[in-house]
Structure 1
Amino acid sequence: MTGTLRNSRTLGLFDEILHSPDCRAQAVEIVGRGIAAQARCTISVLVEKEQAWPPGQIETVILPEAAIRQAVAYGERLMELGAIEDDLEEVWCSRQSGGSDNATFERALNDIVARLDAWPHSAD
């Protein structure tokens, strides 16, 4: 992973896939959708974090039960996003090691991008 991509494991993996000598047009299209989905996920995380915990208030407020439930749900959604990233890495490592052919890899990549695109609603 290079430069600013270090801030996003998912984008770094997508970058590696795109720059792979085996990358076919189908994978480029899927990765493009994945990059768009990842951008939406990042914005969702930032917006939800800002709404749930306005700057300076978290230290001064005793969290009521509803806020605790909201924080737990937020954490669960982040864990789901992490699981999607883990699966992307696993599929990519399998492809790099020769454990899957292009068609199998592209199907798995498409499934992962569909999950990423459905996030965070898939956790609800």
Structure 2
Amino acid sequence: MAARNSEALDVFLKVAADSRVSWRAVELAGRGISADAAGVVWVISKGKHSLSGEELSDLLMKQGDLVDSLSEVWRSFDSGELSSADFEDQLEAVVLGLEEWIQRASR
């Protein structure tokens, strides 16, 4: 049975399982999974109860932009349009963005 919880999780699992990526990319995928999971837990346990609909919507749209970037970075790498080094740099930027997103959201 495949886990299909989120688009971000799907991409991070593909990264972690791909033999073309570096161990650094696998580490970044793990950090991304953790950040994505922390975001889901925060939204369910606190965000829905502590923010107005508009505030929560704005935060989720920012998260969605990061996930869109992640999907595009993976698509570009997987299709050969992006080198391994560029992929790793862009993956790191997305993961850092997700980590910063959850830190800002949970304040």
| Count of matched residue pairs | 104
Cα distance in structure 2, aligned partners of 1:12 and 1:96: 14
Distance in 1, matches of 2:12 and 2:29, equals 6
Match of 2:29 in 1: 31
Q: Which has the higher helix share?
A: 2
Deviation at 1:44, TM superposition (A): 1.0
Work out whether residues 28 and 91 of structure 2, in 8 Å CA contact, stay in contact via their aligned partners in 1: yes
Pick from 10, 14, 17 the counterpart of residue 16 of structure 1: 14
Number of the residue aligned with 1:62? none
| Structure-2 residue corresponding to 1:116 | 98
TM-score by length of 2: 0.89
1:23 is displaced (CA, Å) by 1.8
Q: List aligned pairs for 1:74-93, cutoff 5 A.
A: 74-93=56-75
Partner of 2:87: 105
Q: Which runs of 5+ in 2 are unaligned?
A: none
Q: How does 1:51-90 map to 2 (within 5 A)?
A: 51-52=49-50, 70-90=52-72
Query: What TM-score comes out, normalization by structure 1 length?
Result: 0.77
8 A Cα contact 2:16 2:30, kept in partner: no
- Note the alpha carbon deviations across 1:58-108, whole angstroms, 9 max, x for none: xxxxxxxxx7xx210100111111111100000000001111111110000
Q: Residue 7 of structure 1: CA displacement?
A: 1.6
Q: Looking at CA atoms only, which structure, 1 or 2, has the larger radius of gyration?
A: 1
Q: CA RMSD in A?
A: 1.8
1:21 Cα deviation from its structure 2 partner:
2.1
Q: What letter matches 1:9 in structure 2?
A: E
Query: Would you identify which runs of 4 or more consecutive aligned residues in structure 1 move more than 6 Å?
Result: none
Percent pairwise identity: 33
Distance 2:78 2:7 in 1: 17
